[in-house]
Amino acid sequence: MAVSDPVFTLADLERWSRPGTSLAVLGHPIKHSVSPPMHNAALAQLGRNDWRYHRFDVHPDDLPRALDTLHAKRFHGVNLTVPHKIIAFDRVAAVDPAARPIGAVNTLRWSPEGWHGFNTDGYGLAAAVHETLGVDLAGAHVVLLGAGGAARGAAVECLRLRCASLWIANRTRENLDELLESLTPLAAGVPLHGFAPATPPRDLPIGSLVINATSAGLRPDDPLPIDLARLPRPAAVYDMIYNPPLTALLRAAAALGLPQANGLAMLVHQGAKSLEIWSGAPAAQTAPSMSVAARAALASA
């Protein structure tokens, strides 16, 4: 899926002289990102006519130079996506306390001292599962699939909001153990367990929220991250993937009659929270226009 907004490069950035307030998303690859139409729709809604959101394809090796240049060019805010969130964490002047345990930042705001880093993914996830599935992470039994950056943000948010229990499954045991070890100090009494996706424990709670935070499902030939038929039911399933809109996991959930939703609402809500950090406009005000724009961009691409 390609989106019609231009993709800029580091060379474009070095020549950048656009007046007004500039925002950017950096990723590698970035050509599938619907963040520019999504943010630009919200900026139009807010009447910020001299604000514009752009996307840049930046190789991870070039990220430090890109961040320095964006700061020197006075970009007001930056979003970071794969694979930059963790690399940028060590390169910001200040980190929001809520982002520290995640070890990754997806939102930067310009300050004279340097970039101020935030992470809005956890907010986006919590708002998305509430909106799409009617589930609150607080008090939920959560089965989280994956141990990468997105899973880490999700796990920290589940523990911060005091979910009832957190069960994490990952293909590579070593990565799972590393994640569990770093989460243990944050658990504060919330039961925290790890398991291999092929062998779900018998005592998984009934009525869990299953969250796919693996990248399995992005490609048509990907394996299922878990066999939902082996989990106690009823359960609800949230897949962070939004393109394709219906992954094999979501199809399996539908076949079992389970409530399910894809990652589009998470994309929208994390984006609206970033815009709130940059503009002060409440996320709840801009999320609806962002949602319409993101859906339209995905449908037309």
**Catalytic residues, which ones?**
85
Shortest CB 250 distance to ligand NDP, Å: 13
Shortest CB 86 distance to ligand NDP, Å: 8
CA distance 20 to 218: 36
**Coil vs helix vs strand at 276:** helix
Structure tokens belonging to residue 133: 């599935």
CA distance 47 to 199: 53
Structure tokens belonging to residue 270: 């994390």
- From residue 151 to residue 190, the character string flagging contacts with ligand NDP as x (rule: CB under 6 A) and all else as - is x------------------xxx--x---------------
Vertex 61: Cα angle to 58 and 62 (nearest 5):
45
The reply to whether 213 sits near ligand NDP by the rule CB under 6 A is yes
- Report which secondary-structure segment, H or E, holds 193: strand 192-195
CA distance 228 to 262: 16
CA distance 223 to 218: 10
Shortest CB 83 distance to ligand NDP, Å: 7
The residue (of 13 and 99) whose beta carbon lies closer to ligand NDP is 99
Q: Which of residues 30-59 bind ligand NDP (CB under 6 A)?
A: none
Phi-psi region of 297 (alpha: psi -120 to 50; beta: other; left: phi over 0): alpha
Q: Which of residues 128-147 bind ligand NDP (CB under 6 A)?
A: 146-147
**Coil vs helix vs strand at 18:** coil
- From residue 245 to residue 284, the character string flagging contacts with ligand NDP as x (rule: CB under 6 A) and all else as - is ------------------x--xx--x--------------
Shortest CB 189 distance to ligand NDP, Å: 26
Query: Residue 27: which of 56, 62, 5, 4 has the closest Cα?
Result: 56
The reply to whether 218 sits near ligand NDP by the rule CB under 6 A is yes
The residue (of 61 and 221) whose beta carbon lies closer to ligand NDP is 221
- Rg of the chain in Å (alpha carbons): 19
The secondary structure of residue 203, as a DSSP letter, is T
The residue (of 73 and 295) whose beta carbon lies closer to ligand NDP is 295
User: Contacts with ligand NDP: how many residues (CB under 6 A)?
Assistant: 28
Q: Which stretch binds ligand NDP (CB under 6 A): 111-119, 202-210, 236-244, 290-298?
A: 236-244
Strand partners, 130: none
Q: Which of residues 69-108 bind ligand NDP (CB under 6 A)?
A: 82
Choice from 80, 240, 275, 298 touching ligand NDP (CB under 6 A): 240
Choice from 156, 168, 225, 236 touching ligand NDP (CB under 6 A): 225
Query: Residue 156: which of 85, 205, 248 has the closest Cα?
Result: 85
Binding site for ligand NDP (CB under 6 A): 82, 121, 124, 146-151, 170-172, 175, 213-216, 218, 222-223, 225, 240-242, 263, 266-267, 270
